[in-house]
Amino acid sequence: MLGLAFWLMMVGMREERAFPFSAGVLYFLAWSVMRYADLFGEFGGMLGASCMFFTCGLAIAGFALYWHRRKAQKRSEREAAERDEAADDETVMDSAPETGFKRHD
């Protein structure tokens, strides 16, 4: 179960797709809640359950913040690459030799 959760998150990050990433996060959180209920269900009581759900909320907020920052970084890298490519194209066009022919419209 853990392997599938992390695999989904990695696929989402690699392909920049939110759905597999979110599914991996939710699958991991569902697994952690089920493990908590299995191991500490009778021992933790209401306080333990509230701590578990608080921790899961923090994990979701952390993953959302990470995803948002990663998307912003990728977007800025893509825009910088496009600007560099456009500047290179202009440089090539400026340095092209003149043909000696004039166009008359």
Residue 80 lies in a domain: no
Residue 17 lies in a domain: yes
Is residue 102 in some structural domain?
no
- For 12-22, write each residue's pLDDT tens digit: 888 888 898 88
In a domain, 73, yes or no: no
CB 4 within 8 A of CB 21: no
Which domain range does residue 47 map to? Answer: 2-66
Is the pTM value of this prediction over 0.75? no
Total tally of structural domains belonging to the chain: 1
Q: Which of 34-55 are b and which e, b meaning 16 or more Cβ less than 10 Å from the residue's Cβ?
A: eebeeeeeeeeeeeeeeebeee
Q: 26-46: per-residue pLDDT in tens?
A: 898 888 888 877 777 777 777
Q: Is 45 a member of any domain?
A: yes
